[in-house]
Amino acid sequence: MENLKNKLIQLLGENARYSYAQLADMTNSDETTVRATVKELEKDGVIVKYAAIVNTEVLSQSKVQALIEVKVAPQKLNGFDSYAEEIYSFKEVQSLYLMSGGFDLAVFVEGSNITDIAKFISERLSVIDGIMSVQTHFILKKYKIEGQITRPKEERERQLIQA
């Protein structure tokens, strides 16, 4: 059963639009077993969400995205969890990770423009008690998103030849 779970996780990670019939065929299993296993993975919190990977750079109204490094003073009983709970409740926050290294939290945010992100940092994030410092990095260009290369294959294959 663990082999089936692992294979289904891999396949759904590659393409969440596979049907139960396709998944059953690819795992040499029956559709009923596959459906039950996927439902179990969802119930257990292994599969959290199904989503489309969107390259916002090609949209007519693209969003501004940034990575914010946050350094905090860990709280005695809650460590970093209480900070995380407060920060991930903001609508601008797309992802939040506890990190090792020079900062504690990596916060990925999205806004309509740079001003939105600046306001988020100055009015919401920086005022949280215990936040020691923030450093913001704006995402300028996306080459690969969640394992998917963003440029079309034919564009990647073209090479400039200089004489």
**What would the pLDDT profile of 86-127 be if each residue is shown by its tens digit?**
999 999 999 999 999 999 999 999 999 999 999 999 999 999
**Residues 6 or more apart whose Cβ sits within 8 Å of residue 20:** 31, 34, 35, 38
> CA torsion angle for 33, 37, 43, 46 (degrees, to 10)?
-170
Helices and strands: H and E segment counts in the chain:
6, 6
**Residues 6 or more apart whose Cβ sits within 8 Å of residue 35:** 20
**CATH number for the domain running over 2-43:** 1.10.10.10
Q: For strands 105-111 and 93-98, give the pairing.
A: antiparallel
**Residues 6 or more apart whose Cβ sits within 8 Å of residue 96:** 84, 87, 88, 105, 106, 107, 108
pTM of the model as a whole: 0.75
Fold for 59-142, please state it: Alpha-Beta Plaits (3.30.70)
Residues of the chain with CATH 3.30.70.920: 59-142
Residues of the chain with CATH 1.10.10.10: 2-43
Whether the per-residue pLDDT at 161 is higher than 70: the answer is no
Q: Nearest Cα to 49, choosing from 82, 83, 16?
A: 16
Express each pLDDT in 5-39 by its tens digit.
Answer: 999 999 998 889 999 999 999 999 999 999 999 99
Rounded-to-integer distance, Cα 137 and Cα 104, Å: 15
Strand partners, 93: 109
Contact status, residue 46 vs residue 53, Cβ threshold 8 Å: no
